[in-house]
């Protein structure tokens, strides 16, 4: 992992089979396709803010039973599916948008919008709160047979702290984690990615934590973030509409997507 130029090797990388029976990764509508502010180029590290470092990356995987396909659209809808995966392998992060109920969906970028970010706004139950790590779930489809969801790809994660409910278009980055990717992820699985922060982030009264995952790749193969059934939390799920600042954040709900991102954080 590279944290603003400081290279830290991935540690404690491991895989564990997790049942995902019935997961159907069909995506009739994707993210970011109609916003003219979107950057269709390759993703780059963003600027700004002090950084913390990270280490101790680990990943777990689990089998699914079906493949996925994608199509362009207005943005944000992950598609319906058979369900059946166990969210977070039954051990959710400390902070999530809401308790995760399987909908068997993923969120994907429209062609030309790969490298844009999906971000979750997380709020602790009490302050001060110390964030010690992040956690998110991505899907691995049957890429050998044309499935675009590829969980092996390198990608970055940006972490912001802000008292506003909408992330800044030019955010101050509290930590940036460059995930080198996970090789040999079995087809039709979900990959739980956990990364500990070597320098915890302390949230003060009123602070929100934003965890933004880059959906790196190409139209043929890209990252897909898993979705949970929605809870009406329209102001907690965001899409960047650009690969680097200035972003142009929009809610997933504005793309007719009422699901919650499977992105969380750990701490106390």
Q: How far from chain centre, in Å, is Cα 79?
A: 17
Q: Give the pLDDT confidence of 49-58 residue by residue, as tens digits.
A: 233 333 344 5
Q: Which two tokens stand for residue 175?
A: 């930590």
Per-residue pLDDT averaged across 139-149, rounded?
95
pLDDT of residue 232: 80
Lowest mean pLDDT among 83-87, 192-196, 214-218, 227-231: 83-87
Per-residue pLDDT averaged across 123-140, rounded?
97
Query: pTM of the entire structure?
Result: 0.77
Q: Which of 254, 243, 264, 259 minimizes the C-alpha distance to 112? A: 243
Q: In the 3-class helix/strand/coil scheme, how is the chain assigned residue by residue? A: CEECCEECCCCCCCCCCCCECCCCEEECCCECCCCCCCCCCCCCCCCCCCCCCEEEEEEEEEEECCCEEECCCCCCCCCCCCCCECHHHHCCCCECCCCCCEEEEEECECCCCCCCEEEEEECCCCCCEEEEEEEEEEEECCHHHCCCECCCCCEEEEEEEECCCCCCCCCCEEEEEEECCCCCCCCCEEEEEEEEEEEEEEECCCCEEEEEEECCECCCCECCEEEECCCCCHHHEEECCCCCCCCCCEEHHHHCCCCEECEEEEEC
- Domain assignment of residue 161, given as a range: 2-267
Per-residue pLDDT averaged across 176-205, rounded?
96
**Mean pLDDT across the chain:** 76
Band of residue 86 on the pLDDT scale cut at 50, 70, 90: confident
| Number of domains forming the structure of the chain | 1
Q: Which two tokens stand for residue 204?
A: 């003060």
Taking the C-alpha atoms of residue 156 and residue 178, their distance in angstroms, rounded to an integer, is: 4
pLDDT of residue 104: 82
Q: Give the pLDDT confidence of 153-186 residue by residue, as tens digits.
A: 999 999 999 999 999 999 999 999 999 999 999 9
Band of residue 36 on the pLDDT scale cut at 50, 70, 90: very low
pLDDT of residue 2: 20
Per-residue pLDDT averaged across 70-80, rounded?
34
Band of residue 38 on the pLDDT scale cut at 50, 70, 90: very low
Taking the C-alpha atoms of residue 131 and residue 209, their distance in angstroms, rounded to an integer, is: 9
């Amino acid at each position: 992992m590279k944290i603003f130029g400081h290279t830290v090797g991935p540690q404690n990388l491991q895989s564990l089979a997790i049942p995902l029976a019935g997961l159907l990764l069909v995506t009739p509508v994707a993210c970011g396709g109609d916003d003219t502010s979107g950057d269709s180029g390759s993703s780059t590290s963003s600027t700004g803010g002090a950084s913390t470092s990270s280490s101790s990356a680990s990943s777990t995987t689990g089998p699914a039973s079906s493949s996925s396909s994608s199509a362009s659209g207005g943005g944000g809808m992950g598609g319906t599916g058979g369900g059946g995966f166990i969210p977070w392998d039954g051990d959710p992060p400390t902070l999530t948008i809401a308790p995760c109920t399987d909908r068997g969906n993923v969120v994907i970028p429209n062609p030309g919008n790969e490298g844009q970010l999906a971000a979750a706004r997380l709020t602790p139950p009490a302050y001060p709160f110390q964030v010690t790590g992040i956690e998110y779930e991505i899907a691995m489809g049957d890429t050998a047979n044309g499935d675009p969801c590829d969980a092996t790809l390198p990608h970055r994660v940006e972490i912001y702290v802000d008292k506003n409910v909408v992330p800044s278009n030019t955010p101050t980055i509290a930590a940036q984690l460059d995930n080198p990717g996970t090789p040999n992820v079995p087809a039709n699985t979900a990959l739980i990615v956990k990364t500990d922060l070597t320098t915890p982030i302390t949230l003060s009264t009123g602070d929100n934590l934003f965890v933004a995952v880059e959906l790196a790749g190409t139209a043929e193969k890209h990252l897909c973030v898993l979705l949970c059934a929605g809870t009406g939390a329209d102001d907690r799920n965001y899409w960047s509409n650009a690969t680097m600042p200035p972003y142009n954040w929009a809610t997933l709900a504005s793309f007719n997507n009422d699901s919650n991102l499977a992105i969380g954080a750990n701490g106390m």
